[in-house]
Amino acid sequence: MCQLLGMNCATPTDITFSFRGFSQRAGITSDHCDGFGIAFFEDKACRLFVDNQSAVESPIAELIRNYPIKSRNVIAHIRKATQGKINLENSHPFSRELWGRQWIFAHNGDLHDFSPELAGRFTPVGNTDSELAFCYLLEQLVKRFGYEEPSLDQIFDVLIEISPQIAEHGTFNFCLSNGQALFSYAITKLHWLVREYPFKPAQLIDLDVEVDFSEVTTADDRVAVITTEPLTQNEVWTAFKPGEMILFQHGKPIRHAMSEIARLERERLDPSLRRVTLADHY
């Protein structure tokens, strides 16, 4: 399995504090040593750093801990390989261009017997279940909207419909961003919080580091952090409910939905759609 870290902000913000704690889990406080990656959006484009070395040992991770790249949307991932070799092509996050924007995706979980046929518009470069799921999601978006870029709400509607279908194959927790907003979905484990005015000190769990955010922020700042396991010990983290999807924009959740409900509604309208329940996977 792997761990995810996402950040969505009202103003461009650096992630060095959270990443310092998170990257400790790549060998020191946990064993997610099989590569890491982090993507920083700047408007529609993004910088993607990946390495098949652990986030503890990689010189690239060291750069990230020390070089404050400011961004409104960040997705990071530390890998503990379950499927696919430990090489660059299997390192999350994955990226693809769609509608003139980069899209970035990272997955925590493990899918089984998931082998949808893809039309070829998006093809996995590596051989992980995760990149296949990403390509499948994007293909579904293109099937619905063609080459006309839809709104965030329209994208959310498709994701909340498709994600539980993928989750029927296993654990499917993810963070996805197109630089405008950050979509996150959890079947088993994901937590989030929002830091906003009045800011307070925060103390990392994985490292003896504290930052008093009131000293380094302005009233305009607001940051949502999404992560597999809480990163700080003195802040309140909210766990995602199983099947919950949250859309973050401007540093806060702007839309929630429970995929279970959406799926049951579809099945009520068309009983032929009925499949195993999500509960089978717990």
CB of 184 to its own copies, least distance (A): 23
Tokens 């997955």 locate to 107
263 is an interface residue for its own copies by CB under 8 A: no
134 is an interface residue for its own copies by CB under 8 A: no
Site for its own copies in 58-87 (CB under 8 A): 59-60, 63, 66-67, 87
CB of 8 to its own copies, least distance (A): 18
Q: CA of 8: how far to CAs of 3, 27, 99, 109, in Å?
A: 17, 26, 21, 22
Question: Of residues 70, 88, 143, 275, which one binds its own copies by CB under 8 A?
Answer: 88
Q: Is 175 one of the catalytic residues?
A: no
239 is an interface residue for its own copies by CB under 8 A: no
Question: Of residues 6, 21, 84, 124, which one binds its own copies by CB under 8 A?
Answer: 124
261 is an interface residue for its own copies by CB under 8 A: no
117 is an interface residue for its own copies by CB under 8 A: no
44 is an interface residue for its own copies by CB under 8 A: yes
CB of 173 to its own copies, least distance (A): 23
Segment interacting with its own copies, rule: CB under 8 A, options 38-46, 203-211, 218-226, 269-277: 38-46
Selection from 187, 236, 228, 235 nearest residue 211 by Cα: 235
| Nearer Cβ to its own copies (115/277) | 115
Segment interacting with its own copies, rule: CB under 8 A, options 12-20, 41-49, 214-222, 245-253: 41-49
Helix 152-167 crosses helix 259-269 at what angle (to 10 degrees)?
A: 80
Cα 136 from chain centroid (whole Å): 16
* Chain residues in the site for its own copies (CB under 8 A): 42-51, 59-60, 63, 66-67, 87-89, 91, 95-102, 119-126, 146-147
Active site amino acids: 2
